[in-house]
Amino acid sequence: MTAPLFAYSVPTQPLILASTSPFRKALLDRLGLPFDIVAPDIDESAQADESPSMQASRLARTKAAAVSLRHPTACVIGSDQVAHSGGRRYGKPGSLSRAIEQLLELSGREVMFETAVCLAFGQHGPKHEALVPTTLKFRQLSLAEIERYVDRDDPIGCAGAAKSESLGIALLEWVRSDDPTALIGLPLIALSTMLRQAGYVLP
């Protein structure tokens, strides 16, 4: 039997998702565990000379720490994702026009999504982290295809301007990852392992 990762009685404590992302909430709902949502309210800017993977890991850790500071007895999940291609990082477009611009830039190109997750117990308690990379390739997309897609799927809140769990999958040639949920924003395979080690009962 695997020894619990945490020495605390974690399952009796509140479980908190340090994110207001509806995509992460929907993913965590799949596990059937009760949890609360608390906004981490942190600066998500990249730091100087910080790689995309380092940025994603740091922000996942910082989100969990920020919420743990306000909820010191909770088990907190922090997660972050950074998309990059050709040395450029792609955040949430925020508008339909910017989503079209992103997809025009990414047409025919490979994009790497670095998705990090951190599970922390209390402000000073133990933490466990994982980084799950996903690589995908966009098809060669025409402006008409992009405009139709953006109008139908409204991907302004998604890095890379494509919802892979929705119509955005039709924009891709292929996806390579150890965890299909990582691309959506929360790697459930890695997180499930952490939660089981912490004492949560999952199938």
| DSSP 8-state code for residue 60 | H
- Give the Cβ contact number of residue 140 at 10 Å: 9
pLDDT digits (tens, 9 = 90+) for 109-128: 999 999 999 999 876 677 89
pLDDT the model gives residue 98: 96
Over range 51-73, report the average pLDDT. Answer: 95
pLDDT the model gives residue 10: 47
Q: How far apart are CA 192 and CA 176, in angstroms?
A: 20
N- to C-terminal Cα separation, the chain: 15
Q: Is 153 a catalytic residue?
A: no
Q: How far apart are CA 89 and CA 93, in angstroms?
A: 11
User: Which pair of tokens denotes residue 21?
Assistant: 């992302």
Catalytic residue (choose from 80, 151, 154, 179): 80
Q: Which domains does the chain have, with CATH numbers?
A: 10-197 (3.90.950.10)
Global confidence as pTM: 0.90
Name beta bridge partners: 84.
Answer: 89, 112
Q: Could you give the residue ranges of the DSSP H alpha helices within the chain?
A: 22-29, 52-70, 96-106, 143-153, 188-197
pLDDT digits (tens, 9 = 90+) for 161-195: 999 999 999 999 999 999 999 999 999 999 999 99
Over range 69-87, report the average pLDDT. Answer: 95
- Among 1-5, 41-45, 71-75, 186-190, which stretch is predicted with the lowest mean pLDDT? 1-5
User: Which pair of tokens denotes residue 162?
Assistant: 């494509």
CB 186 within 8 A of CB 197: no
- Give the Cβ contact number of residue 43 at 10 Å: 7
pLDDT the model gives residue 198: 86
pLDDT the model gives residue 123: 67
Question: What 3-state class would DSSP assign to 158?
Answer: coil
